[in-house]
Amino acid sequence: NIILADKNLADELKKLFENFIFFKQIEMWNQNIFNSTSEFLPEDSEKRNIIASAAGFDNYKIFDDKLKQVTRENISSYEKILGE
């Protein structure tokens, strides 16, 4: 069980790291494309489509779904790690 727990922890940490990189790339595209200093994504659908395209998504709705998925994964991982 200890080995399994360590592997599960490693898997969760890997997922958190990958998700961090995803979010950081989105933040950098947002800041560079729109010359922004904000970490918040624009609400405007045209601007959101531009970021979605830069990130390799067909449109901002698919992109937004991915953002929600990654956020849910992070919450789940934190709960597993912290036992909340």
pLDDT digits (tens, 9 = 90+) for 23-75: 999 999 999 999 999 889 999 999 999 999 999 999 999 999 999 999 999 99
> How far is it, in rounded angstroms, from Cα 74 to Cα 47?
25
Categorize the per-residue pLDDT at 84 as very low, low, confident or very high, splitting at 50, 70 and 90.
low
C-alpha closest to that of 33 among 60, 55, 62, 58 = 55
Q: Are 9 and 78 in contact (CB under 8 A)?
A: no
* pLDDT over threshold 50, residue 1: no
27 to 51, 56, 61, 65, 80: CA distances (angstroms)? 9, 14, 17, 16, 26
Q: Are 26 and 55 in contact (CB under 8 A)?
A: yes
Residue 33 C-beta-side C-alpha neighbours within 13 Å: 19
Q: What is the pTM of this model?
A: 0.84
